[in-house]
C-alpha cells in the first residue's frame, strides 16, 4: 500500500486507482480529465482552476495527465497557452482524409468558362465583349483556383493583356477526351440550350486548346499586371 506522502502527491497517482483510495487528488485529476475531454475548444488554466477545489495543484495535475497520456493514442498538449487532447502525432496519418469542396458555379462563371473554352486564347476584354458585361475579378479568380483556366501568354497589342485557355483538369472534370468533344451548334440546339431564333450568321467556333502560342501571342514573363485589377463590377461572380 502507498504511504501517506505518495497518496498526497498527484505525480504518484494512477488514473485507474479507485476513487476512494485517495482523498482529493484523484477526484481532482478526474475532474480535469473530464473537463478537457468535454471541451469543444482548448481550455486555459484559469478555466480549469474555477472547477477545482481551492488549493488544488493544477499544474501538478496537468503534468500527471500529460505523463499518463504520453504513450497513448491521444496526448495532452498545450496549444497557444491552453490545454487540449490531440491525436498522437505518430498516428495522425491514420485520421487523414481528403474531402472535395463542391461549389456551384454562378451563371457568370459558367458563361466565362464557356467563352474561354470555345474562343481560347482569349483576353478579359474579349470575354467582356462577347458577354456584353464586365467580368468581375472574382469570376476569373475562381475559375483559375479550380484549375480549369490557365494563363497562356500575352496578346501582342498595347498593354499586353494576358490570354486565357483551358487546362487538362477542365477536360477531366467534364469527361472530355479532347477540347474538340465540346458540343457544336447542332448539339446545343438539340439540347435546348440555344434559342431557335439565332441571329443571321451565328456560329460557334471550333475550340482549340493547342498549348503552342499563336502568332498574336507572346510568352508571359509575369512582369506586368494580369489585367484583373479592381473595376466597377456590374455583376456578382
Domains of the chain are 4-95 (1.10.10.10), 107-218 (1.10.10.10)
Other CB atoms within 10 Å distance of the CB of residue 216: 12
Give the model's confidence band at 162: pLDDT under 50 very low, under 70 low, under 90 confident, else very high: very high
Span 97-124, average pLDDT: 85
Percent of the chain clearing pLDDT 90 (strictly above):
25
pLDDT at 184: 81
pTM over 0.75: no
Contact 134, 235 (CB under 8 A): yes
pLDDT at residue 1, as a whole number: 41
Neighbour-count burial of 106, counting CB atoms closer than 10 A to its CB (0-12 exposed, 13-18 middle, 19+ buried): middle
**Long-range CB contacts (< 8 A, 24+ apart) of 184-193?**
none
Q: Is 45 helix (H, G, I), strand (E, B) or coil?
A: helix
Residue-wise pLDDT tens digits, 187-199: 777 766 666 666 7
Phi, psi of 181 (to 5 degrees): -80, -5
- Quick one: CA dihedral 76, 78, 83, 85, positive or negative? negative
Cβ proximity of 149 and 143 under 8 Å: yes
Is the pLDDT at 106 greater than 80, yes or no? yes
Residue 15 is predicted with a pLDDT of 46
Amino acid at each position: 500500500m502507498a504511504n501517506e506522502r505518495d497518496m498526497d502527491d498527484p505525480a504518484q497517482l494512477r488514473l485507474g486507482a479507485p476513487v476512494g483510495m485517495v482523498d482529493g487528488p484523484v477526484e481532482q485529476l478526474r475532474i480535469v480529465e473530464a473537463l478537457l475531454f468535454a471541451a469543444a475548444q482548448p481550455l486555459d488554466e484559469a478555466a480549469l482552476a474555477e472547477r477545482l477545489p481551492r488549493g488544488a495543484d493544477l499544474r501538478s495535475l496537468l503534468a500527471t495527465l500529460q505523463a499518463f497520456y504520453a504513450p497513448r493514442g491521444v496526448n495532452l498538449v498545450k496549444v497557444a497557452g491552453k490545454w487540449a487532447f490531440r491525436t498522437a502525432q505518430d498516428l495522425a496519418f491514420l485520421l487523414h482524409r481528403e474531402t472535395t469542396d463542391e461549389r456551384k458555379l454562378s451563371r457568370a462563371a459558367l458563361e466565362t468558362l464557356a467563352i474561354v473554352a470555345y474562343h481560347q486564347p482569349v483576353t478579359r476584354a474579349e470575354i467582356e465583349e462577347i458577354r456584353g458585361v464586365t467580368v468581375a475579378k472574382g469570376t476569373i479568380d475562381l475559375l483559375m483556383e479550380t484549375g480549369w483556366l490557365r494563363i497562356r501568354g500575352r496578346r501582342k497589342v498595347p498593354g499586353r493583356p494576358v490570354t486565357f485557355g483551358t487546362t487538362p483538369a477542365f477536360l477531366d472534370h467534364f469527361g472530355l477526351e479532347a477540347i474538340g468533344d465540346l458540343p457544336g451548334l447542332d448539339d446545343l440546339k438539340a439540347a435546348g440550350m440555344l434559342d431557335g431564333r439565332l441571329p443571321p450568321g451565328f456560329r460557334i467556333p471550333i475550340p482549340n486548346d493547342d498549348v503552342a502560342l499563336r502568332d498574336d501571342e507572346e510568352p508571359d514573363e509575369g512582369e506586368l499586371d494580369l489585367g484583373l485589377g479592381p473595376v466597377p463590377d456590374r455583376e456578382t461572380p
